[in-house]
Amino acid sequence: MATDETTSKEQTGSISSVLSEKRKFPPSAEFSKNAHITSMEEYEKLYAAAAADPDKYWGDLAEKFHWFKKWDSVLDWAPPYAKWFSGGKTNICYNAVDVHAKSWRKNKAAIIWEGEEGPQRVLTYGELHRQVSKFANVLKIAGIRPGDRVAIYMGMVPELIIAVLACARVGAVHNVIFAGFSAHAISERVNDSRAKMVICADGTRRRGGSINLKNIVDEAIVNTPSVRSVIVLKVTGEKVHMHDGMDHWWHDLMGLAMDECEPAEVDAEHPLFVLYTSGSTGKPKGILHTTAGYMVHAANSFKYVFDIKDEDIYFCTADVGWITGHSYMAYGPLLNGATILMYEGAPNYPQWDRFWDIINRHKVTILYTAPTAIRAFIRAGNEWVTKHNLDSLRLLGTVGEPINPEAWMWYHRIVGQERCPIVDTWWQTETGGIMVSPLPGATPTKPGTATRPLPGIMVDVVRKNGDPCEANEGGYLVIKKPWPSMLRTIYGDNARYEKTYWSEFKDMYFTGDGARKDEDGYIWIMGRVDDVVNVSGHRLGTSEVESALVSYEAVAEAAVVSRPDDIKGNALVAFVTLKDEYVGDMNLREALRNHVAKEIGPIAKPDEIRWAKGLPKTRSGKIMRRLLRELATSNEVKGDVTTLEDFGVLENLRDQEDD
Ligand code: WTA
């Protein structure tokens, strides 16, 4: 390799980008004609106006909500601490529910729920208003005051959204804990946020069985002195132990509560929720979001990215336990008066066609899911999808990880029938809402890129010293201006907030992601910078090598990591999951190595390929490359595995004898 190039790369701290994807898909004339934003010219104009006068841009958007008192200033910025809409008073629950319940939408479906075993429930905006108001009264009677933290640990049932909204209504701070987490993880989160109450269910259904959530809560709250009471919703009817004085049934309390409750008039910066996200080391970070700024961006980004119309039925497959569930399952859609399809269970229950069956039966128009699910569907086979009529779909979305171009093409062809635009949305728990995404009626898409930032969002790709990268030069993804739904801090730990996000680059928020901007200004995410591998002096984003592997017919999913190598510095190890009908052998290994050499270049050829029945993932579906790195290096895993979803997969990934 040319040493000059290597040295200069190390100096600027850039990352080599090797993936070249040239396909481009403009929206159809018909889609554009009916969209909220109809052309790139319109987008460019909006973007330029927002960049020139951000206060006016965000201020105008905020005008659309109900305020008990208008704000004095749009933004007070004392880096890295922001206050949005200071002096204003509002309530996000009022804007998400009451506004619609008082309008013609009173009898419109807010939530269409389908249980795993098939039962259906429909909550109109009027009914949602009644339930939320009642439960808000329950919270008040239980002594919950504005600012108190309330932990919520439930499966995907409408009451989960009711509990979240009721907290917001009384000014309490919700802390939703994904129902797959252990007792230890609950105690850690409840203690860090010093929650006064836990709302849970007796159990949750999973693939025909059930998990007793109440038992897990019982185990957790032995170690949580701040908790005064537990409210238990009956979902599965399983046996639970109710502790006198501490535990109360949801239905008993609701039976006593009045169904009218004035919303609390909270300050714009009143804390709305804490949501924990795993740190790469140490304890989870409690990401704190506040009321008005979050409301403005969650609602507005939802409207434009999903091009939402009153007729739409919007199906988001994320759990409310994740930020996607907060912003685009609950708040974003409800603030727009949209109809949400909420599904309780697993995508492969009773069979691999559950999502497609739901889409067909409910005539879903918009589907928002994750690359990990898409890759699982590819592996299971096209026939599960194609046997259902998906003509109702008009728009598809993805979030959570880089989507490999071949997985994008599959989503486009098999699910979208080459008719539906795909919005690949880049954002984070910390950003609160979508930052980079196509606007479906305007932006020509390319498989594998989240395209351009939304108006008002100033993202850039920079070198280690903070200088902007050139087109197609890989670097670090940063955000250069505050935005309304940004995290305000890490709960109780300002020092960690400053260090994690604001110390790497001067006056810029560091996302932790590697990326490049192409000649059209499109952002290509190359994965977390911790996942960058250095081979013979070239720093490669693992996601690009993975995408090359996934573009081979037999491959469903791949994860690439490096291990130290005496000669090359680092060697590449690929963990590959094949589609169900293929078997891994020596010939396929060689074919794959050659395929990567052809797609990217010999430098990216994996030195070792291990067949994987499954890959280790977090509970939200992200591949845990850190564990694979340990496996590839020492053949054992010693690091923290508490966020790992399925422990069995690690066993299968140790050294493999040749086939
Ligand atoms: C990754 C999820 C590529 C990224 C909303 C980010 C993505 C992290 C995309 C945040 C995307 C999310 N393309 N990568 N469209 N969306 N990511 O906090 O690495 O669970 O930093 O928020 O997921 O994950 P989080």
Atom in ligand 1 nearest the alpha carbon of residue 424: 15
One domain for residues 263 and 382: yes
Q: Are strands 197-201 and 229-233 parallel, antiparallel or unpaired?
A: parallel
In a domain, 523, yes or no: no
Backbone angles phi, psi at 362, to 5 degrees: -95, 0
In a domain, 633, yes or no: yes
Write the CA distances from 223 to 185, 274, 605, integer angstroms: 11, 20, 50
CB of 112 within 8 A of CB of 340?
yes
Q: What's the confidence (pLDDT) of residue 8?
A: 46
> Is residue 534 very low, low, confident or very high in pLDDT (cuts 50, 70, 90)?
confident
One domain for residues 469 and 614: no
From 401, 504, 547, the mutation candidate for ligand 1 (largest count of ligand atoms within 8 A of CB) is: 401
CB of 420 within 8 A of CB of 440?
no
In a domain, 526, yes or no: no
Mean pLDDT of the chain: 92
CB of 106 within 8 A of CB of 100?
yes
Q: Is the CB of 425 under 6 A from ligand 1?
A: yes
Q: Is the CB of 329 under 6 A from ligand 1?
A: no
Q: Is the CB of 525 under 6 A from ligand 1?
A: yes
One domain for residues 456 and 600: no
Q: 517, 534, 562: which is the final residue of a domain?
A: 517
Q: pLDDT tens across 205-232, in order?
A: 999 999 999 999 999 999 999 999 999 9
Nearest to 196 by CA among 163, 161, 231: 231
Residue 563 domain boundaries: 552-654
Total of domains in the chain: 2
- pTM for the model stands at 0.90
Query: How far, in Å, CA of 348 to CA of 577, rounded?
Result: 18
What is the enclosing helix (H) or strand (E) of 597? helix 586-599
Q: Is the CB of 643 under 6 A from ligand 1?
A: no
One domain for residues 578 and 465: no
In a domain, 6, yes or no: no
Q: pLDDT tens across 421-458, in order?
A: 999 999 999 999 999 999 999 999 999 999 999 999 99
One domain for residues 488 and 569: no
In a domain, 146, yes or no: yes
One domain for residues 628 and 558: yes
Q: What's the confidence (pLDDT) of residue 281?
A: 52
One domain for residues 499 and 561: no
Q: Is the CB of 326 under 6 A from ligand 1?
A: no
Q: 494, 517, 540: which is the final residue of a domain?
A: 517
Is 7's pLDDT higher than 80? Answer: no
In a domain, 627, yes or no: yes
Atom in ligand 1 nearest the alpha carbon of residue 398: 15
In a domain, 403, yes or no: yes
Shortest-distance Cα residue to atom 23 of ligand 1 = 400
Q: pLDDT tens across 95-135, in order?
A: 999 999 999 999 999 999 999 999 999 999 999 999 999 99
Question: What is the CA(339)–ligand 1 centre distance, in A?
Answer: 25
Query: How far, in Å, CA of 128 to CA of 163, rounded?
Result: 11
Shortest-distance Cα residue to atom 10 of ligand 1 = 428
Region 500-520: mean pLDDT is 95
Q: State the residue for tokens 């922001």.
A: 82
From 525, 618, 619, the mutation candidate for ligand 1 (largest count of ligand atoms within 8 A of CB) is: 525
Question: What is the CA(171)–ligand 1 centre distance, in A?
Answer: 29
Question: What is the CA(1)–ligand 1 centre distance, in A?
Answer: 33
One domain for residues 578 and 487: no
In a domain, 497, yes or no: yes
One domain for residues 476 and 579: no
Is 637's pLDDT higher than 90? Answer: no
**496 Cβ partners below 8 Å, 6+ apart?**
285, 490
- 399: domain CATH number is 3.40.50.12780
Q: 467, 495, 517: which is the final residue of a domain?
A: 517
Region 44-60: mean pLDDT is 98
Residue type, 179: A
- 572: domain CATH number is 3.30.300.30
Query: How far, in Å, CA of 293 to CA of 437, rounded?
Result: 19
Q: Is 91 helix (H, G, I), strand (E, B) or coil?
A: coil
Q: Is the CB of 620 under 6 A from ligand 1?
A: yes
One domain for residues 415 and 513: yes
Q: State the residue for tokens 């104009």.
A: 45
Shortest-distance Cα residue to atom 12 of ligand 1 = 400
One domain for residues 201 and 346: yes
**60 Cβ partners below 8 Å, 6+ apart?**
none
Three-state secondary structure string covering 423-465: EECECCCCCCCCCECCCCCCCCECCCCCECECCCCCEEEECCC
DSSP H helical ranges for 125-182: 125-141, 158-170
One domain for residues 509 and 620: no
> Is residue 19 very low, low, confident or very high in pLDDT (cuts 50, 70, 90)?
low
Q: What's the confidence (pLDDT) of residue 585?
A: 92
Atom in ligand 1 nearest the alpha carbon of residue 527: 19
